[in-house]
Amino acid sequence: MNTNAPAPDFVPQPVGVALYGANGHQIHGLLAARRDMARLCAVAGFPPEKLPPGLRARDGARVCANLDDLLADPRVELVSLCSPRRRDQALDAIRALRAGKHVYAEKPCAFSEPELDAILDAARENGRVFREMAGTAFLQPYLEMRRIVLSGILGRVVQVVAEKSYPWHDARPQDEDIDGGLIRQCAIHALRFVEHVACERIVSAGAIETRAGNPVAGGGSRIAACLMLGLASGGVAGIAANYLNPKGTGEWGYETLRILGEKGMVESTQGGAHTRLVVGDRDLGPLDTSQPGIEYLDTFLAQIRGRGAMPLSSEEELSPTRWVIRAKQSPQSP
C-alpha cells in the first residue's frame, strides 16, 4: 500500500436550501444551475409553480405550511428569506438563526438598528452565517469600477453621484411595511455603490422624500427621494432614488454611478450599458468588463461548505442597510 499517495480531494455535499416567501428577488432561478452546490429541500409562502421545471422533483423539495414547519426540516441548512411582510423579516431571520439555519435575506433585512444588531447577535451566538443579497459590487461593470478605485488611479475620491430608478406599477404596495419602501429597498442599491464600489465609508446621511407622483390619492408610497451623504475621506455623495423610470428606457432598474476623484473619474450609465474612464487629460474610453462577475450566492454557498470566504465582512456588507435605516428615521418632505 502506498501511504505517500495524495488523499483525494474532499467534495462537500450540496447545501440544503429552503425558500421562504416570494416578496422580492428569491433565488429559485439561480438554484437550477447549481446542482453541485445546493439542493432545494423545502418552500413555504412560495408558489411551487414558480419553480424552474423539474427543480422541486429533482431535489425532493416539499411544500411547508409555514416558516416553523420549514425550520423543523433537518435537511434545511440555509433559508433564503423574501418574507411576505418585510417588516417581519428581521424576526424571521432571528428565528431561522436560532433554529440553526444560515440565512440569506432580501433587502432590507431590518427596519431598525436594534433589529439589525439582534440579527448579527443571533448569527454569532448560534454559529450561523447571515448575509443580505448584497452582491451588486461584484457584478460587471461595478466589479471593474471597484478595481479601478482600489488601484488608486483616480486619487482620493471626492464625490460620488448615483441614481437608482425603478418603474411604477400597480402592484407596488402603498404600505412600506410590505417591501421596505423607497429609501430602504431602492436607495440602498446606491448606498452600496458608495461603500462597496467607490469603497468610501459613509459617516452621515440625510434624506428628503416625496409622495408627489403617486397615482393613488392618499397613497403611502414615496415616489422620489434624495439623500446627502458625508464620507470618511471628507468627500460627499448624492443619491437619487425613484419609481419614475419610464418603460421606454428598456431597463427595469435604470441606474447611474459616477465616481469622481482628484485625478480622474469613472462612470457607468444606463444600467451599465455605457461606461467611461477618464484620468487627467486622457479619455481611456469604455471599461474592460470581460472579466466575469462574481455571483454573491456562489460565494455564500462556498463559505457555508468551507470552500471560501465572502469578499465583504458582515459589518461592511450591512453598513449601507444601517445607513438607510438612519436616513429613513427623520426624512424631510418638500
- Rounded to whole angstroms, what are the CA distances from 76 to 89, 152, 269, 306? 18, 44, 40, 17
CATH class, 15-132 region: alpha beta
pTM of the model: 0.93
Q: Select from 215, 221, 256 the least CA-distant residue to 237.
A: 256
- Which cell goes with 312? 465583504
What are the extents of the domains in the chain? 15-132, 140-292+310-329
Return the pLDDT at 156.
Answer: 97
- What's the rounded Cα separation, in Å, for the pair 23 and 1? 57
pLDDT at residue number 112: 97
Q: CATH for 140-292+310-329?
A: 3.30.360.10
Q: What is the pLDDT of residue 6?
A: 45
| pLDDT tens digit sequence for 140-168 | 999 999 999 999 999 999 999 999 999 99
Domain 15-132 and domain 140-292+310-329, same fold? Reply is no
State which residues of the chain have pLDDT below 70. Answer: 1-11, 331, 333-334
Pairing of strands 224-231, 202-210: antiparallel
Residue 168 has a pLDDT of 95
Contacts of 234 (CB under 8 A, 6+ apart): 158
Helical spans, DSSP H, in the chain: 28-31, 55-59, 67-71, 89-98, 113-126, 142-151, 176-179, 181-182, 188-192, 296-304, 314-329
* Whole-Å CA distances, 15 to 76, 109, 184, 327, 330: 8, 22, 30, 36, 41
